[in-house]
């Protein structure tokens, strides 16, 4: 069953009251109101989503000059392109004349973008090349009517965007990942497969599910067999500490086990979350696959399997789980108040050949299987949360710690909009 989120008696005053109620009941799940309010959703987009750094694509997806692809957030369409000079750019897919979308194809290669409505022509760097018969206006300056650019940061082949023109540079916070993330040499990686799971629930329910592993032991049996994150730390500490003690020697990477945690309210800048840690797989498992055996050649500069996996967060909505032989990226994008795109991207070395060095089905099995399980439980969660009889319960202090960090940031951000 799909729900139509609505609150017919919504108002700023009601939002203020709901936020006050959350303060009076800390460390608990949030009220159903925050998943159903259109007022809240619009504020989320304006003050949270479009002010945050979000993974957009991998540089290899824009390999040639004038390559492009589209990326949608909410109702917005963004063009990602490598312009004629070879620079990666992000542009709003909106003609500067009357607002028509200038690009419809999902990806391709074009020297120009031509508006289908009145024929204005734009170069791939966003500059206006031609505006038919607009010479008749003496005050018309083509330089003032290029496509609106979006802030872009490319880090180790990963392309991030931020629709806030005043956002601080994301490169500085990301530098804290240089050693552990650099081990995988993502600049020289390729996208082996990507898949978007369209989940008919509010985006927060999808993200919240990713941010906790309280459900892992009961909902993800295949994952739980191999990953120590499904247990509280006191139970798996010896396994994790042994892995961390040997990770640099085995992988050959200095700083492979680095911890860094600046997310949400503790981020260096708004929407510039950066996190990394390394946790262990159980004995007998080398990587994240159905049987724990390697599914691709070792990535980047990694020399051998250390029995661990790298956990990364880059921005509020983008995450990576990196095994020695492949990497998996998660991105969560709201499309409407009741629809979320959960995109997964699998990376391997750029010279790895499908059918010879890796089998795509084996490579993707674990996280495709886990994502289908997630879709099921998120939908069940949505059905209960939407009930008028739902009463939020307490968070687990360890398993749901990262989720609580998100919720604190989220509620704080909403509260800051009350006086705007």
What share of the chain has pLDDT > 70, as a percent?
Answer: 99
Residues 110 and 146 in one domain: yes
pLDDT at 4: 64
Give the CATH number for residue 58: 2.102.10.10
pTM more than 0.75: yes
pLDDT at 330: 98
Nearest by Cα to 72 from 344, 335, 342, 314: 335
Distance CA 37, CA 255 (A): 44
Residues 60 and 106 in one domain: yes
User: The dihedral of CA 308, 312, 318, 324: what is its sign?
Assistant: negative
pLDDT at 286: 98
Residues 149 and 201 in one domain: no
Residue 2 in this model has a pLDDT that exceeds 70: no
Looking at the domain assignment, is residue 316 inside a domain?
yes
Looking at the domain assignment, is residue 303 inside a domain?
yes
Residue 289 in this model has a pLDDT that exceeds 80: yes
Residues 183 and 144 in one domain: no
Question: Last residue of some domain: 154, 183, 217?
Answer: 154
Residue 3 in this model has a pLDDT that exceeds 70: no
Are 285 and 307 contacting, i.e. CB atoms less than 8 angstroms apart? yes
Instruction: At 216, give phi and psi (nearest 5°).
Output: -65, -45
- Six-digit token string for 23: 């303060």
Residues 226 and 147 in one domain: no
pLDDT tens digit string along 368-402?
999 999 999 999 999 999 999 999 999 999 999 99
Identify the burial level of 66 via C-beta atoms within 10 angstroms of its C-beta, where 0-12 means exposed, 13-18 middle and 19 or more buried.
Answer: middle
Residues 78 and 205 in one domain: no
pLDDT (average), residues 225-231 = 97
Are 97 and 134 contacting, i.e. CB atoms less than 8 angstroms apart? no
pLDDT tens digit string along 305-340?
999 999 999 999 999 999 999 999 999 999 999 999
Residue 244 in this model has a pLDDT that exceeds 60: yes
Question: Last residue of some domain: 124, 154, 184?
Answer: 154
Residues 360 and 306 in one domain: yes
Looking at the domain assignment, is residue 176 inside a domain?
yes
Looking at the domain assignment, is residue 7 inside a domain?
no
Residues 176 and 317 in one domain: yes
Nearest by Cα to 37 from 199, 204, 198: 204
Residues 125 and 179 in one domain: no
Range of the domain at 225: 171-413
pLDDT tens digit string along 98-109?
999 999 999 999
**Reported confidence tier of residue 5, pLDDT bands at 50, 70, 90:** low
Residues 136 and 183 in one domain: no
pLDDT (average), residues 196-214 = 98
pLDDT tens digit string along 78-130?
999 999 999 999 999 999 999 999 999 999 999 999 999 999 999 999 999 99
**Reported confidence tier of residue 1, pLDDT bands at 50, 70, 90:** low
**What are the residues facing 320 on neighbouring strands?**
312, 329
Give the CATH number for residue 233: 3.90.380.10
Residue 238 in this model has a pLDDT that exceeds 80: yes
**Reported confidence tier of residue 9, pLDDT bands at 50, 70, 90:** confident
Residue 184 in this model has a pLDDT that exceeds 70: yes
pLDDT at 419: 83
Looking at the domain assignment, is residue 202 inside a domain?
yes
Looking at the domain assignment, is residue 159 inside a domain?
no
How many structural domains comprise the chain?
A: 2
pLDDT tens digit string along 143-161?
999 999 999 999 999 999 9
Residue 73 in this model has a pLDDT that exceeds 90: yes
Looking at the domain assignment, is residue 226 inside a domain?
yes
pLDDT tens digit string along 47-69?
999 999 999 999 999 999 999 99
Residues 241 and 192 in one domain: yes
Looking at the domain assignment, is residue 234 inside a domain?
yes
Average pLDDT across the chain, whole number = 97
Residues 189 and 263 in one domain: yes
What share of the chain has pLDDT > 90, as a percent?
Answer: 97
Instruction: At 333, give phi and psi (nearest 5°).
Output: -130, 120
């Amino acid at each position: 069953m799909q729900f139509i989120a609505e609150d017919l008696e919504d108002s700023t005053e009601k939002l203020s009251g709901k936020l006050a109620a959350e303060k009076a009941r800390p460390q608990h799940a949030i009220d159903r109101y925050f998943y159903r309010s259109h007022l809240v959703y619009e504020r989320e987009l304006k003050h949270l989503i479009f002010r945050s750094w979000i993974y957009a694509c991998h540089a290899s997806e824009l390999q040639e000059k004038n390559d492009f692809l589209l990326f949608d957030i909410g109702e917005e369409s963004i063009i990602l392109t490598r312009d004629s000079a070879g620079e990666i750019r992000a542009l709003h897919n909106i003609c500067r004349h009357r607002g028509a979308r200038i690009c419809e194809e999902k990806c391709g290669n074009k020297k120009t973008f031509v508006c289908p409505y009145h024929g204005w022509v734009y170069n791939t760097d966003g500059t206006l090349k031609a505006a038919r018969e607009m010479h008749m206006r003496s005050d018309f300056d083509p330089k003032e009517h290029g496509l609106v650019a979006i802030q872009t940061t490319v880090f180790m082949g990963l392309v991030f965007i931020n629709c806030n023109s005043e956002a601080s540079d994301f490169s500085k916070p990301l530098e804290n990942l240089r050693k552990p993330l650099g081990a995988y040499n993502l600049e020289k990686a390729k996208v082996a497969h990507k898949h978007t799971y369209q989940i008919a629930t509010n985006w927060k329910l999808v993200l919240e599910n990713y941010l906790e592993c309280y459900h892992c032991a009961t909902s993800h049996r295949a994952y739980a067999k191999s990953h120590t994150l499904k247990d509280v730390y006191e139970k798996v500490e010896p396994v994790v500490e042994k892995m961390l003690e040997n990770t640099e020697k085995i992988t050959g990477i200095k700083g492979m086990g680095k911890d860094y945690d600046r997310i949400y309210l503790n981020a260096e800048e708004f929407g510039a979350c950066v996190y990394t840690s390394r946790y262990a797989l159980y004995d007998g498992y080398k990587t994240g696959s159905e049987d724990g055996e390697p599914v691709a050649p070792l990535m980047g500069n990694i020399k051998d399997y250390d029995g661990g996996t790298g956990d990364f967060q880059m921005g509020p909505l983008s995450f990576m789980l990196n095994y020695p032989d492949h990497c998996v990226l998660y991105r969560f994008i709201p499309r409407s108040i009741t629809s979320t795109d959960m995109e997964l991207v699998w990376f391997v070395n750029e010279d790895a050949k499908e059918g010879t060095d890796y089998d795509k089905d084996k490579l993707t099995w674990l996280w495709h299987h886990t994502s289908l399980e997630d879709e099921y439980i998120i939908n069940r969660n949505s059905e209960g949360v939407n009930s008028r009889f739902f009463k939020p319960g307490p968070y687990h202090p360890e398993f749901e710690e990262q989720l609580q960090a998100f919720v604190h940031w989220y509620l704080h951000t909403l509260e800051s909009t009350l006086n705007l």
